[in-house]
Amino acid sequence: MLEIQGLRSGYGDITVLQGVSLNVNSGEIVGILGANGVGKTTLLKTISNLIKTRAGTINYQGKNLTHVPPSKLLNLGIAHVPQGRNIFSKMTVAENLHVGLDNVKKRVNPQEQLDYALALFPKLKERWNQLGGTLSGGEQQMLAIARALVTKPSLLILDEPSMGLAPIIVRSVFNAVKKIAQDGTTILLVEQNAVAALNVIDRLYVMDMGRMVYESQEMNDNELEKIKEVYLGAG
C-alpha cells in the first residue's frame, strides 16, 4: 500500500533521514519504534510533505506522493495525526471534528463517520461543546485520532500517541487503535513506548540515527531485548 525507498530529508543543513526504506501492506499495523531524536517524526512529516523530500520515493497505491501538497492527502485516504496532539485548542470538540469532516464531505457520510468515531471514544460525546484546550491529555489524543478517523482514511498515520500519557490511558488509546485496524484501516504507528506498541502491531521497524536498523515480524520479549539495546545503546 505504502512503499518508501531511500528517503532522505531534513531541516536546513541537517539531514535527518539518511535513506529510509519501508513498506506497509494493506490491513496491517506497522510500528516504527525508536528512541527520541532518531528521525521518526521527520519521516512522517516527509511522507505528508510538510518537509520536502531530498531524495528517494514515496509511493502510495502506485501513486508518487512526493509532490502532493499536505492538504490533498485526505482525498487520497491518508490521515496524519501529528505528534503532541495538535488539536485546535480554542475550538470545541465538535468544531475540531468538523474541521476533519469539512474537506471530505463529498466522499463520506458525515453522520456515519461521526457515529463511528464517537462509538470508539464515547468520552468525546460528553465533552462535545468543551474547548479542545480544556480536555485532559488522554482526551486530547482521542480527539486528535477521532478527527482523523472521521475522514474515513484508508491509511492512518499516528505519531507517538502515547506521548506524555499515563500508562493506563496509553492502554486504552492502543486498544482503540487495535479496534480501528480490525475495522479495516491500515495503520502506520510511530512509537517510542515499545512495550505498549508491541501489544498491537503486526510488524515492526526499529529506527536509529535516521536509518532503519532492524526489522521483524515477531512480537515477543526477545524483540524487546533487541530494541532495548538500540534505545539504551547497551549493545
Partner 1 sequence: MSKILVKAEQVSVKFGGLWAVKKVDVDVKAGEILGIIGPNGAGKSTLLNVLTGLQRPSAGQIQIDNGYVSKKDAWQMVKMGIGRSFQTIRLLNELTVIENLLIGGHLYTKRGLLDVLGRTVRWRKTEQQITNKAMELLQLLGIGHKAQEEISALSLEERRRVEIARALMTRPKVLLLDEPGAGFSPQESDQLCELILSIRNRGISVVLVEHNMKVIMSLADRIIVLDHGQKIADGTPKEISEDELVIRAYLGGEDHA
Partner 2 sequence: MVEFAQTLVNGLVLGALYSLVALGLTLIYGVMGLANFAQGEFAMIGGFSAFFLVQEGVSYPLAVVIGFAVAGIIGLLVHLLAFYPLRQSNHINMMLSSLGVSLFLVNLAQYLFSPNPQVVKSPLSGESFNLGGIFISQQRVLIVVISFILCLATFLLLKHTKFGRSVQAASLDPDTATLYGVPTKRISFMTFILGVALTGIAGALLAPVYNVYPTMGISLTLKAFVVVVLGGMGNVSGAIAGGVIVGLIESFAGGYISTGFQDAIVFTVLFVVLILKPQGILTKVQGEKV
* Nearest-angstrom CA–CA distance, 167 and 176: 14
Q: Which of residues 132-191 bind partner 2 (CB under 8 A)?
A: 147-148, 151
Which cell goes with 144? Answer: 486528535
In this structure, are residues 145 and 82 in contact, taking their beta carbons and an 8 Å threshold? no
* Nearest-angstrom CA–CA distance, 2 and 23: 5
Residue 29 touches partner 1, criterion: CB under 8 A? no
The runs of H, that is alpha helices, within 103-203 are 110-120, 122-126, 137-149, 167-182, 194-200
158: nearest Cα among 69, 6, 30, 49 = 30
The contact pattern for partner 1, residues 133-152, with x = CB under 8 A and - = no contact, is: x-------------------
Residue 213 touches partner 1, criterion: CB under 8 A? no
Size of the site for partner 2 (CB under 8 A): 28
Decide which of partner 2, partner 1, none touches 163; Cβ closer than 5 to 8 Å per partner kind: partner 1
Decide which of partner 2, partner 1, none touches 232; Cβ closer than 5 to 8 Å per partner kind: partner 1
Interacting residues with partner 1 (CB under 8 A): 10, 13-16, 35-38, 83-84, 133, 160, 162-164, 166-168, 170-171, 191-197, 209, 224, 227-228, 231-234
